[in-house]
Amino acid sequence: MPTAFDNLSVEVAKKRLPTTPEAVKSAVLFRDGDHWQGGAAWTGPAPASTDKGATEVMTRIQREFVSSNVIAEVIERHANAVCGREPQWSYAVRRPLLEEEQPNPQEQGLLDEAEAAMTSWWDQRNVLGILQESIATAVVHGRAVLRLFVPPAYVEDNVIQVQETLADALNLIWLDWLAPEQAGVSRDKATMQACGVYVYTNDNKKEVAEVTFIDEGQTVMRTLEGEAMTGETRLPLMGHLLMIEIVCKPLIGLSMQQMQKALNMTLTMLQHNIVISGFVERVMTNAQMPFDEVDDPANPGKKLRVYRPYDIGPGKTTNLIGLPMREKDGQIERITGYTTPSVQWREPVPVGTFIDTDAAIYSRMLKECKQLHALLSGDAVASGESRKQALLDFAMSLGPTATALKQLVRWVLEAALALAAHFAGRAQAFDSLRADVTPRLWLGSLSSEERNFLLAAYEKGAISHDLFLSLIDVEDVDAEKARIAAEQEEKQARSARSLGAALAMQQARLDSGAASTGLEQPA
C-alpha cells in the first residue's frame, strides 16, 4: 500500500529533521564547559573589534576569565532525580482483569519468560545508562531519540537467522542513543503518520538514511543511499517504530544562559579585583625615573642618561625626585625648581560586592529551575516552610520528565520484546502483554520533617500515592503497595473477627437472660 514515505531520498529525509535552535546550541556548550564560546558569552566590558589592540585585550580577559558551571549542576540534579535510580518495570496482561482475577497459566508463563529474558538483556545492554543519557539530552535539547537495531554482522542478505531461544534473539538487539542533530521522529501533515529518520555516514564515507514507519500494521525499516533504496525490512512490532523521540520542556532557556553569563562575569571581576589588590598598580606623576650617567658613544666627552625602573621591595628605600623646571634666559638655561612628585593607585573594590552578587545570581538560577531546595537545605536563616515548599516545587517539576521516561521505557520493553519474538520464530507471541513502568524519583536525603510534609501533601491530594512512595525512597513501589493492601485486608479481617466475637458474646448473654434487649414489656 502506498505511503507518504515511499519516495524519500537521503536529502528529502534530512529535511524532516528539526533544526537545532541557536539557544540550544549555546546551552549545550555551557553544559559541556565552554563558557567563553569564543568571547560571545562574555558580557563584561570589551573593546570594539575595530579598536587597535582589541585582540590582545580579549586575550587578556580570557586569561583571567573564571566560570562556575551552574547549568551543568542543575541539569545533573534534574536528570538524577528522574533517572538516577533504575525505574521499576514489569509486564502485565493487556486484557482487563476482573477484580481478584489473576492471569491464567499460559499468560503467567509468558510473563515469567518475558521478564526473565528482558531483565538479563537490560543489564547486558546498560539500558539504565542509555536512559540517563537520553534524559540529560532531553532536558537540554527539549527532545531525545533512541533506536533499536541489529549490528550488520548478524545480517546476511538482509535476513537474520531464526534463533533458538528468546534470550538468543535478544542478544542480537542493541539500544542506541542518537544525537538530536542526526535523528528525529515527525508526523506527515497530510496523514499524521509517524516517521523516524536517522542520517549518518557509513564506513564507505557515504551518507545513509534509515527511515522507519508503519504500513498496514507492520513496522517498516528502509535504508536509503542517495536517491536509491538499498534495503527494506517489515516487522511485527505491535505498532512500535524502531525509533522513539521523547519531548520535554528545555530546562536551560535564554534567561538561564543570561544568568550564567552574569555569574561568570561576577567571578571574573572578583578574580581581577584580587589581582589588583595583591599586585597594586602604581602611577607616578611629576617624578624622574632613576638613571645612570654613562659615556655617550656618539658624543665623546659627554654623558648619556640610561633610565632604569624603581628598585622597590622589602628593605628598599625609594627616593622620588621631581622633574626639573627650566627657564631660558638668552643663551643660558637654568633650573628654577622641581615639580612635586606623587604616587597614585586605586584601592580594590570590597569583595563583599562580588560575593553578594554571586550568591544572588546563583539563588535566582536555582529558583528558575525549581531547585531552590538545594540552597535552602543548608540555610539556617530560611524557614522550614520555605524549604518544604521548595522541595515540593522540585518534586512537581519532575513530573513531565518522569512521564517522558515512562514512555521511553515502555517502548524499549515492548518493542525489544516483540522484535526478539520475531527473531525467535515466535512473532506476536507476546502481543498479549504490556509493560508497566514506574519511575523512581529521588529528591536526595530527606529529614523526618520533610517526609511528614510529603505525607501531608499526599493526604491532601497534591501528589499521588505512587509518587509519594517513590519520593520517600521506597525501593519497590508495587511490592510496597501490595504489602500495604495485605496489611489493610488483614486489619479489616481482624476487625470483622472482633466484631463477630462481640456479637456472639452479646447473643449468648441474651440467650442466658444475663442481658436485656431493651424491648421487654414492663411488669
Strands lying side by side in the sheet with 174-178: 174-178, 143-149, 243-247
pLDDT of 380 reads: 47
Q: Which grid cell is 27?
A: 546551552
Q: Cβ contacts of residue 362 below 8 Å, gap of 6+?
A: 70, 263, 375
- The answer to whether the CB of 103 falls within 8 A of the CB of 94 is no
What count of residues does the chain have? Answer: 523
Q: Which grid cell is 181?
A: 542533530
What is the pLDDT tens value at each position of the chain, 523 positions in all? 678 898 899 999 999 999 999 999 999 999 999 999 999 999 998 888 888 888 898 998 999 999 999 999 999 999 999 999 999 999 999 999 998 899 999 999 999 999 999 999 999 999 999 999 999 999 999 999 999 999 988 888 778 889 999 999 999 999 999 999 999 999 999 999 999 999 999 988 999 999 999 999 999 999 999 889 999 999 999 999 999 999 999 999 999 999 999 999 999 999 888 777 666 677 778 888 888 888 888 888 888 888 888 777 777 777 778 888 888 877 778 888 888 888 877 776 788 889 999 999 999 999 999 999 888 765 544 556 787 888 889 989 999 999 999 999 999 999 999 999 999 999 999 999 999 999 998 887 777 777 777 778 788 877 777 767 767 766 655 555 566 666 677 777 777 777 777 777 777 777 776 655 555 555 5
**Coil, strand or helix at 328:** strand
Hey, which residues does 186 pair with through a beta bridge?
A: 195
What is 109-160 written as a DSSP string?
HHHHHHHHHHHHHHHHTTHHHHHHHHHHHHHHHSEEEEEEE--GGG-BTTB-
pLDDT of 350 reads: 80
Q: Which grid cell is 306?
A: 640610561
Q: What are the two backbone dihedrals, phi and then psi, of residue 13, each rounded to the nearest 5 degrees?
A: -65, -40
**Coil, strand or helix at 411:** helix
Closest residue by Cα to residue 213 from 42, 36, 369, 2: 2
Q: b or e along 484-506 (b: 16 or more beta carbons within 10 Å of the residue's beta carbon)?
A: eeeeeeeeeeeeeeeeeeeeeee
Hey, which residues does 112 pair with through a beta bridge?
A: none
Secondary structure letter of residue 482 according to DSSP: H
Residue located via cell numbers 509518587? 467
Closest residue by Cα to residue 26 from 212, 198, 214, 253: 253
> pLDDT of 440-451, one tens digit each?
988 877 777 777
Q: Which grid cell is 91?
A: 509486564
Q: Cβ contacts of residue 238 below 8 Å, gap of 6+?
A: 414, 415, 418, 428, 431
pLDDT of 344 reads: 77
> What is the greatest pairwise CA distance in the chain?
157
- The answer to whether the CB of 251 falls within 8 A of the CB of 137 is no
